Amino acid sequence: MSCFMFRFYRGDLHKIFPTVTLRVRSSGPHRSRSLRESYRLLRLPEDGNNSHAVVKEAYLRMAKLYHPDCGAPTADAALFSLIKEAYRVVLAHLTRQKSMPQSSMDEEEEDKGKSQAPQHRQYLSFEGMGSGTPSQRERQYQQFRVDRANDQVLEYRYKQMEKVAAEEGSVVSRDARVRSKHIKITQAVERLVEDLIQESMARGDFRNLSGTGKPLSKFDHNPYADPMTHNLNRILIDNGYQPEWIVAQKEIRETIQTMRERLQEVRARLGSPMRHSEQLQWKEHCAAFASELLKLNKKVDNFNLIVPLMSWQMVHFNMNREVEKVLKSDQEHRKEKEREREKMHVQERAKATTCQQGTRRGLIMWVQSLLK
């Protein structure tokens, strides 16, 4: 089916007729010679409404007769190749016939859009995407834009993830540098202030201060504070109130220090190296220490839940690490005692040698005085 279009516009005709679009359709059984030959090879009627199933059935029937491997006396490889090619031509022709109504509808939609849309609408390039009529190209271009937007979103998310990971690493390193620098500066300032205070005390600058012997005014009036909050804080501090997390932190530190000292005393009473019975005693004390450490770690968990800042949270105490600390401290203590004993030994030897030399010198002087 072919289509011809004629447009008459502009000039004198435009004054008489508006823009006219004439569509002349020529219909009829117009088939090429190769198509007619293909129908003849498949033994199909040219003017009949042949479907894909009918064409396939005809092809199978001819294949049973002329296929080289069918075993029939009519088998012919050259003729079968022509039949196969004819089958493809006929299928292609049927597919085109099916798509022609759709293409005509697309052309009608395109003409309708051209009559309604601005005149430059038909000249859109769609960035060189797609093929076919402008409406088909527009649909293809819209799909292309959707795919491109998805790719850009994925690429943007990937870049953002890389940026966040890099920023986290730089923030951690920068915080570590700032924290170490702040500690150094704070320690230096504290040493400087302490030196200045000591110098002033040595000069006697603090002896004639006004208010000497009087109690300190701990609660100066703050005009920016709420009076009720100020009074409540003063009452709490006067009565020795401390926040719960400070009390818990103090209790944890005192408890672990007491446990370490007790285990240190037990190890000091045992020999070095330990005998079998001493090793059994040491294991019993370590087991008791482990049970107490488990209870202490539960207190650490409760403390971490009430502490106001995450940087002030505490980690669990490790049994092996604590025992290693105790053993290392005991070895250092024993070595220190050994060095002190050796030092005393050397001093005693030196003293005995000095006494012997003094006695011998006195005896010689006495003999010399007798001889005189």
DSSP 9: -
Q: What is the pLDDT of residues 52-68, one digit of tens each?
A: 888 888 888 888 888 88
Domain boundaries, the chain: 2-118, 132-195, 243-358
CA distance to 59, 185, 204, per residue, from 197 (Å) = 112, 18, 11
Nearest to 306 by CA among 241, 247, 244: 244
3-state secondary structure (DSSP) of residue 315: coil
Chain CA centroid to CA 79, Å:
68
Residues 168 and 175: their CA atoms lie apart, in Å, by 10
Q: What is the pTM of this model?
A: 0.36
| Residues 45 and 60: beta-carbon distance below 8 Å | no
Give yes or no for a cis peptide into 273 (omega within 30° of 0): yes
Q: Which CATH superfamily is domain 2-118 in?
A: DnaJ domain (1.10.287.110)
Cα 10 from chain centre: 67
Given the structure tokens 């997390």, which residue do they identify? 245
Tell me if residue 356 falls in helix, strand or coil: helix
Q: Give the pLDDT score at 324.
A: 92
- Assign 47 to helix, strand or coil: coil
> For residue 173, what pLDDT is reported?
65
In one-letter notation, the amino acid at residue 315 is: V
pLDDT at 261: 92
**DSSP character for 243?**
-
Q: Which regions in the chain score pLDDT beneath 50?
A: 1-30, 117-123
**What whole-number distance in Å separates Cα of residue 330 and Cα of residue 334?**
6
CA angle centred on 311, ends 160 and 299, rounded to 5°: 130
Model pLDDT for residues 138-148, shown as the tens digit of each residue = 888 888 888 88
pLDDT at 218: 59
Q: How far apart are CA 231 and CA 314, in angstroms?
A: 33
Question: Cβ-count burial of 126 within 10 angstroms (0-12 exposed, 13-18 middle, 19+ buried)?
Answer: middle
Distance separating alpha carbons of residues 94 and 90, to the nearest angstrom: 6
